[in-house]
Amino acid sequence: MKNRIRVLHVAQAAGGVDRYIRMLFKYMDHDKFENILVCSHDFKRVDYNGLADAFEHVDMQRPIGKADIDAMKAVRRLIRKYQPDIVYAHSSKAGAIARVANIGLKKNGDKIKCIYNPHGWAFNMRCGKKKQMIYTAIEKMAAPFCDKIICISEAEKQSALDKKICKQDKLQVIVNGIDIEEYEQRKIAGLSTVSRKSCGIPESAFVVGMVGRISEQKAPDVFIKAAKQIKQKISEACFMIVGDGPDREMIEEYARENNIALFISGWVENASDYISLFDVALLLSRWEGFGLAIPEYMLAGKPVVVSRVDAIPEIVKDTENGLLVKPDDIDGTSNAVLELYKEGALQMKLRNKGMITVHEKFDVKRTAKESEMLLNSVITSRNQLR
């Protein structure tokens, strides 16, 4: 294939970024774009068979340290090797490494363009003011070394403007999406091997679930404390967390001490199969760049209870397609779940409206198409400068 736009993607953090890149590669036009992935060892080569035109591992570590210099040198060598038209950096760490690595590099006499997608600003995390200041300073210093910054929600764009990361014209909102087509094909084919029985959950149980890393951001402590209150009112309630993380042991211990029926799946590839077992789906994040689990819940026809933070109210309109609660609000969370348990008509309304919302707004095919348009515009702007 001739004259394809060659894009070299650089990524350090796996998880949601990994899923995003795979969906992007799947739905981008392969006749027009050549996608090369340079990534940390958290990514698996086998996952990109048939998706990536080339795949390279580089030792990129999450903590800031001397190893970053070696990572920058390695990425710079690979940029020189592949001679891309555009370097596309994903997430904060890879964003810093790739943007510095690309400084001064050219292809056929033209500057190699660079775009950056933070996938959620690091300075929005709930951490100390000193760390927030450091993350903000890094983003400000690195911003001049890219041509466009992609924000996955309007809230992310506003955060960048509030922190004066860059001028508004450098920011481009491309809202996140999920793979609706894959979900529907999997459902029709009946590929799921997950059942309530296989998870040790009674068929008659009222299942309250969440998908996400068991860590401070996703507030599993609020989830399990709300579970205690819910269990007191709904005797048949059982609880499920699809994911894993550093706070797992603490959450399991609390569940044992309070006689809460809790199933934790660990890391799985087929989260949608577990979501199908939920009666109510929760995402109680303390900060959130987007909240990809929410449209996944909606696609499965589950009523949602979610925290009112960052980008989440862009997805969920309270009492229209879900219920919003304040972050860290244990009572509000348990009351919202109890309301859904009692009000079948409300459940049905939220399910129906949620499914309409995800089909209208959050299909990853739209995300891929808008990404293609941005990549084309970046190349066009370069050609106009010749």
Sign, CA torsion 165/167/168/170: negative
Distance CA 150, CA 313 (A): 19
pLDDT of residue 383: 59
Domains and CATH numbers, the chain: 5-177+364-384 (3.40.50.2000), 181-361 (3.40.50.2000)
Distance CA 366, CA 381 (A): 23
- Residue 66 confidence (pLDDT) above 90: no
- Residue 386 confidence (pLDDT) above 60: no
Mean pLDDT value across residues 2-27: 91
Query: Could you tell me which residues are beta bridge partners of residue 282?
Result: 210, 305
Tens-place pLDDT, residues 181-200: 999 998 898 888 899 999 99
Tens-place pLDDT, residues 304-352: 999 999 999 999 999 999 999 999 999 999 999 999 999 999 999 999 9
Closest residue by Cα to residue 335 from 305, 312, 355 = 305
Mean pLDDT value across residues 16-29: 93
Mean residue pLDDT across the chain:
94
Query: Could you tell me which residues are beta bridge partners of residue 240?
Result: 209, 263
Mean pLDDT value across residues 87-101: 95
Tens-place pLDDT, residues 237-272: 999 999 999 999 999 999 999 999 999 999 898 899
Distance CA 20, CA 122 (A): 18
Per DSSP, 112 falls in state P
Rounded to an integer, what is the distance from CA 117 to the centroid of its chain? 12
Per DSSP, 363 falls in state B
